[in-house]
Amino acid sequence: MRGRGGPTSGEVFARVARRYDAVNRILSLGRDGAWRRAAIAHLPPGRVLDLGAGTGAANREFGTRRVVALDPSAPMLDLNPQRRRVTGYGERLPFADGSFDAVFSAYVFRNVESVPETLAEIHRVLRRGGAAAVVDLSRPASAWKRALHRVGTALVLPLVGLLARSPREYWYLHRSLDRLPPPERLFGEGPLALERLWRMGPFGFVYGVVLRKQR
Ligand SMILES: C[S@@+](CC[C@H](N)C(=O)[O-])C[C@H]1O[C@@H](n2cnc3c(N)ncnc32)[C@H](O)[C@@H]1O
């Protein structure tokens, strides 16, 4: 994805790969792991696809599930200690139909080129009755909190970007928060049934959803 005159998401993650986990932890005040954990708790056991796995920050939350880590960014994936790693995009998953019990995706959906194509692919690779859990950042649900949050990220993220020596990348993060419709709309009409939706974090700017492929 490219903002007007801005970097693509591929360029962003190639540049921030080494600092990604530390900065993510600081920006979420140490809560990013708990937000992933809350979503993974809803997934069945078995074979799970970590879509946009990045450096493997979710690995320790998967328990005994057999994980396949997929990401288009080689610099991010190179830092992921997972044994099964695949370079690829959510919109064109290089896996057979029905080959996963579960799909997990954290902090990825704002970055994909096409949410409908990614959801169609998740639906295709899930077995019947399988589940997907998605966690991502958005804006708070209420109008005044949304406005306040927008001002907050416009001020805080450029400062973090300066400290992390990646100002353009953190401005990209601020812009990406307004890229998609709210999760109620985003997941309400796709090929997968929306089973649960909850909000987390300050002002509820983090959401989790559980989606089910019908039997
Ligand atoms: C913010 S990082 C999240 C990484 C990891 N899921 C986590 O929880 O820390 C977003 C990841 O999405 C990946 N990504 C970007 N576009 C993608 C796409 N179209 N399909 C799959 N992954 C994508 C990026 O390369 C990056 O590693």
pLDDT tens digit sequence for 14-40: 777 777 777 777 778 789 999 999 999
Expressed in angstroms and rounded, the spacing between residue 77 Cα and the centre of ligand 1 is 10
The verdict on the CB of residue 109 being under 6 Å from ligand 1 is no
Q: Right CATH number for 29-140+179-212 from 3.40.50.150, 3.40.50.300, 3.40.50.360, 2.60.40.640?
A: 3.40.50.150
What atom in ligand 1 is closest to the CA of residue 53?
6
Q: How far is CA 37 from the centre of its chain?
A: 13
For residue 132, what are the contacts with CB-CB under 8 A and spacing of at least 6? 102, 103, 104, 105, 122, 126, 192, 210, 211, 212, 213
- Predicted model pTM: 0.93
What atom in ligand 1 is closest to the CA of residue 50?
6
Beta bridge partners of 46: none
Q: Which residue's CA is the closest to the ligand 1 atom numbered 11? A: 52
Per-domain residue ranges of the chain: 29-140+179-212
The verdict on the CB of residue 51 being under 6 Å from ligand 1 is yes
Expressed in angstroms and rounded, the spacing between residue 90 Cα and the centre of ligand 1 is 9
Q: Mind listing the pLDDT tens digit for each residue in 178-200?
A: 999 999 999 999 899 999 999 99
Q: What CA–CA distance (Å, rounded) separates 61 from 106?
A: 12
